[in-house]
Amino acid sequence: MSRQYFGTDGIRGTVGRSPMTPDFALKLGWAAGRVLGKSHGARVLIGKDTRRSGYMFESALEAGFAAAGIETDLLGPIPTPGVAYLTRALRCQAGVVISASHNPHHDNGVKFFGPDGGKLSDAIEEEIESLLDEPLICAAPEMLGRARRIDDAAGRYIEFCKSSFPIQQTLKGLKIVVDCANGAAYKTAPAVFMELGAQVTAIGDRPDGFNINRNCGSTHLDLLKAAVREYKADIGVALDGDADRCLLVTHDGREVDGDEILFIIALQRQQAGVLQGPIVGTQMSNLGLEQAIRALGLGFERAKVGDRYVLEMLKAKGGMIGGETSGHTLCLDRTSTGDGTVTALQVLAAMIESGRTLAELAQGMKKCPQVLINVRIQGAAKPMLEHADVKAEVLAVEKELGARGRVLLRASGTEPLIRVMVEADEQNLTQRMADRIADRVRGHAR
């Protein structure tokens, strides 16, 4: 079946435009309720980030679930991984997150977790889609679902995050700056680090409904770098709007991306003697990560871009650690989905155990120069990727690079973009080749 609405991370779009309208959200809640709740009394959780539009979609989804006879628990603003955890802990049939992750406030989205705290399968998403064109048939009055609010949801999630940190360790003596992106973790992340003993400075912790991800968080690190230097912190932690991603900043203001984080955690797990299976990156993972992982004597696999594909490969290969360059890291020995706060805690544990700074730990991996250019397009991405001129330019660049590098073109799963990535052993060469391909894509992007 052709997927009309669900992308790699749920359904996402501009608020007020199809599909992100209240009437669609109501129908989506009803359709999901019909699929996910096969018996009367089924429960789902609804959490959200700090976008103003979250109120509207929360109400619409709640109404849709009620019409399908589903009981709904409202969590309020809470990180995406918090919904995944609570869905599992409270034995619910599903969890729903209203968020557009790292996108600006005028976008929003809906994504689902199953009872195990993992993403829904393609088959279940397709079953939900199949009902969206059907007439909404409301349950009988005595079978309608009810809604209630769970007031201590954030506190429960904070305790879960703390449980992922070694019980014998403490963050006492460490100075941490955490950028909450004015998003879902604006209360939970500072509390986690503080309760574990750190001296915490929080920025991006004043959401107003519109400033989520605006010049802050994991997509804009300048504010965090400046704050780390100003407060002479040991580490800076940057989350995104729904707090499932994490990037880091060293004490001297250098960015540590998801590839380096993945290497640090993999090395720590190997040294602890608990690592299982290969490390899983993506097609976008830096070649330097693969080289560093293999130098440790470990296996390395590349999945398609998207945390759901990393998770699928980890399960298929028996692995436990994987992630994306953007900072979406999976530690399946700690939780079922990407969690920015838990990821930061794993790196902090590695720092404490090794007695080394973040900068020193990151030196174990040498990155190859990589250039990523996002080209905005109109219309479908597939014809662009298959355009004869674009394919010819890619082949020409690949021939010129030879064994010195690699090229990857892919469509974004969440935005109307073609991502052009070139990796090579020399920066100027890498930039020049990436510009060549991006210019060719732009020439056919209108």
Phi, psi of 186 (to 5 degrees): -65, -25
For residue 443, the tally of other CB atoms under 10 A from its CB is 13
Amino acid at 414: T
Would you say 144 and 73 are in contact if contact means Cβ atoms under 8 Å apart? no
Q: Is 354 a catalytic residue?
A: no
- Asked if residue 180 lies in contact with residue 202, where contact means CB atoms within 8 angstroms, the answer is yes
| Identified catalytic residue from 2, 18, 39, 101 | 101
Q: What b/e sequence results for 25-49 when a residue is b if at least 16 CB atoms lie within 10 Å of its CB, and e otherwise?
A: bbbbbbbbbbbbbeeeebbbbbbbb
Give the CA diameter of the chain: 70
Which amino acid does the sequence have at 188?
T
Enumerate the H helices of 37-107 as residue ranges: 53-67, 80-89
Q: How far apart are CA 47 and CA 76, in angstroms?
A: 5
Query: Within a 10 A sphere around the Cβ of 224, how many other Cβ atoms?
Result: 27
Count of H-run helices and E-run strands, the chain = 15, 18
- What lies within 8 Å, CB to CB, of 64 at 6+ separation is 25, 26, 27, 28, 29, 30, 31, 32, 33, 136
| The token pair that represents 325 in the structure block | 């360059």
d(Cα 159, Cα 322) in Å, to the nearest integer?
24
Task: Assess contact for 305 and 285: CB atoms under 8 A.
Answer: no
* Cis, bond preceding 19 (omega within 30 deg of 0): yes
Catalytically active residues are 101
